[in-house]
Each structure stands twice: as C-alpha cells, then as structure tokens.
Amino acid sequence: MKHPSLNAKTIAQDLKIMGISSGDGVFVHAAMGAIGHVTGGAHSVVDALLSTVGPRGLIGMPAFCADACFPSQVDRAKRSDVDIIEIERAVAGFTPLRSSAAGMGLIAETFRT
C-alpha cells in the first residue's frame, strides 16, 4: 500500500478534517515515527500546527527536561545528606536557551526552539 506524501500542507488539511481550526487550543504529544515520513520533517509538522490554529490559537506540548531534576541514576539511599545537597546544587536547572526537550521527541524539541 502506497502512503501519501506528507508535508505541512497535507498535515494542515488533515488537522482541519479532525476539526481543529483557527483560534483552537490543542495539546500535542506526537512522534515522527508514528506519523511516518514527512517532507520537511518536524518543522513541517510544527508549521502545520501553527498555521491551523493561527495567531489566536494555542499549542501545548510536553517539554520535560532532565536539567531541572535530581539525576535518576543516583540512588539517594546510598548517598549521605551532604552528597545529596552537593548533587542538588550541581543540577543546572531549566534554562530556555540551553535546556533540551529532546527526550520528549523531535516534534516537541522543534516546537520548543
């Protein structure tokens, strides 16, 4: 079965068929692998979303980053209170220009940037 070519225009058409229109608010949790090949990649997906909801619309996506979290690979039970405080102080914290949402996928990271 041949799949149609996806690009910003065809994705925007599909979003409109789904009932999304100018001024709407949408929360998007999507994966490029689930969509398939898109000419223009994640940028085309984001462009389609932006053009569909328009300037008065709202788009939300998960953008969790590990920069603001205690390292998951560190076992707190095996660390002293002093070690834990030192590790917590070393956690960079979220910085919009440096922190990445890449763990949430290419679409979310493209949207964030």
pLDDT tens, N- to C-terminus, the chain (113 residues): 355 789 999 999 999 999 999 999 999 999 999 998 999 999 999 999 999 999 999 999 988 777 778 888 899 999 999 999 999 988 888 887 888 877 888 999 999 88
The verdict on residue 41 lying in a domain is: yes
User: Rounded distance, CA 12 to CA 3, Å?
Assistant: 17
The verdict on residue 68 lying in a domain is: no
Which residue, among 93, 95, 97, has the nearest Cα to 69 in the 3D structure? 93
The verdict on residue 17 lying in a domain is: yes
Instruction: Give the total number of structural domains in the chain.
Output: 1
The verdict on residue 39 lying in a domain is: yes
Give the range of the structural domain holding residue 53, as residue numbers without chain letter.
Answer: 1-60
Is the CB of residue 47 less than 8 Å from the CB of residue 40?
yes
The verdict on residue 108 lying in a domain is: no
Element (H, E) at 14: helix 8-17
The verdict on residue 89 lying in a domain is: no
pTM attached to this predicted model: 0.77
Residue 101 CB neighbour total at 10 angstroms: 22
Strand 58-60 versus strand 25-27 pairing type: parallel
∠ CA 101-84-71 to the nearest 5 degrees?
Answer: 20
In 6-39, which positions are buried (b, 16+ CB within 10 angstroms) versus exposed (e)?
Answer: bbbeebbeebeeeebeeeeeeeeebeeeeeeebe
